Amino acid sequence: MNNITQNTINIPRYPPEFQQIINAKNQNFVGREFVFSAINNFLNQSDRGYFTIIGVPGIGKSAILAHYVSQNPGIVYYNVEIAGKNRADEFLTTICTQLIEIAQHQGSKIFTPNSLDFTTENSGFLSLLLQKISDRLHPEQRLIITIDGCDRIDINNQPRGSNIFYLPRYLPEKVYFILTRRPFLANQSGLLIETPSQSLDLSAYSEQTRADIQEYIKTYLNQSSHSVDASAASRRVRSVSEEKNLGDVSLNMTEQVFNDDETNFMYVREILAAINRDIYPPNLQLYYQNHWEKMNLATSKQQTMALQVLNILVQEQSISISIEAIAERLDTDEYEIKVILDKWREFLHLESIAAEIHYSIYHASFRDWLRQQLESNF
């Protein structure tokens, strides 16, 4: 049960582009109850604060937030992914517009017809609105603001050291922010806050995510109006993921198409939608291309070394590798390798083996796609 707002605040309808995202991401949504339970516990145990959902690309962060918002009317929503929405001035203008209407609905008088002129310079006006709304909330009410895709924020147009999107360092009572973002280095959170906070890393819930993936596949197949050739589907996944020992083809598509260890919703959705067509569906190719461009941009000053490191990572089929092992192969300093891997943090899976951190590409399909790009371009 993920509905937590017993008495919600009347707010303006979401901008059309946000509503479209919510509708699209909410299609065929299943499970994720462990996330909603964690959010609920945080809201009940903290009188205010920041709750952050962390996960690798495609694991379903945006869908989680879209479903949460759709099930809890009264929650403010902002999506950084939409073109032009990754700047602080756009965020503050959009959010403060909604908050002004909430405050006015509560009876607060906002006598600043040009108040939006002051919303894009710092967090002052945002904090003022949050306090005004907080003061008039009923004991059982909360103001919840969700921001999807904090890793996409452009911080270049903000003063160094300021919080991403000028998010407030302090929050008034009964005011909460729920954020989603990809994995990041601890010293690069972009947030300096002195208020209750909690993070939920989806990678720590692989078992629950695998179960939700299997349920998603079953739901998709039950709703699908077209038939799928089982043999072709099985061959397809064998070629894309290079999974071994898939077993005999049976009528159970859940077992045929995806390995039981699959945890990436983006991959599953696109492959299901394109079975019997190209190995990599267009949307998945574009998604991976954007990843690769971001990786290249982050390591543009170390391009030669970065390509060598990437080549090692994509050649690893089923194991992760340590910085020491990569440095040994390339006969270079470990620090140089760490700098590159740190810049790729959001696209890597980290695991501790014998007290040493080992790295791998976050998903087998993306790893295989990268290998193809390297082989065809170099």
Mean pLDDT in runs of 10 for the chain (378 residues)? 51 79 88 95 95 94 93 90 89 88 78 54 84 90 93 86 91 96 88 94 92 86 55 45 34 52 85 65 88 92 91 81 92 93 93 89 89 80
Give the domains, in start order, of the chain with CATH numbers. 16-203 (3.40.50.300), 224-273 (no CATH), 282-377 (1.10.10.10)
pLDDT at 358: 93
Closest residue by Cα to residue 232 from 172, 279, 266, 191? 279
pLDDT at 47: 94
User: What's the pTM?
Assistant: 0.79
Closest residue by Cα to residue 240 from 347, 361, 369, 371? 369
Instruction: Tell me the one-letter amino acid at 243.
Output: E
Instruction: Tell me the one-letter amino acid at 68.
Output: Y
DSSP 8-46: PPP-PPPPHHHHHHHHHHTTT----HHHHHHHHHHHHH-
pLDDT at 242: 41
pLDDT at 269: 83
